[in-house]
Amino acid sequence: MVVAKFLRLRGSWALAIPYRHRQRPDLGVSLPVVVVEWAPQRGAEAVFVRFDAEGRTLYLPLGDALRLGRRKPVDGQEELWLPLGTFRPTVWARWPYLTEVVRLGPGPEEVGR
């Protein structure tokens, strides 16, 4: 399962969440806390959410995500929920499909509920 992409976008490292063939969230998006805590160690500065059907991309500095996000347990793992209202609109961004896999821990199906 891909939770986010880690890539260089507009000159900086970022977490990028695409919504193409899955239901668009109305209120917010979430990422495993382990991913959000790992990203700045690798130089990430932002979180991008892309809604392909709308041709729309949203941006949130990673520091704001860590400060404004709410931690909630989901399927035995802690997730950081980020309200869409905290993101800023930005120019639609294209990024590569997948270049490598980084596994930071067990997937939801591997964690006891």
Q: pLDDT digits over 35-49, tens only?
A: 888 889 889 899 988
Predicted confidence at residue 102, as pLDDT, reads: 67
DSSP 23: P
What H or E segment, with its residue span, contains residue 99? none
Predicted confidence at residue 67, as pLDDT, reads: 92
Are 31 and 82 spatial neighbours (Cβ–Cβ below 8 Å)?
A: yes
Which is more confidently placed, 113 or 12? 12
* pLDDT, mean of residues 100-105: 64
Instruction: Give me the amino acid identity at 38.
Output: W
Q: pLDDT digits over 47-70, tens only?
A: 988 888 888 889 999 999 999 999
Beta strands in the chain, from DSSP E residues, in sequence order: 5-9, 12-19, 28-32, 44-51, 56-61, 70-74, 77-83, 88-90
Predicted confidence at residue 92, as pLDDT, reads: 83
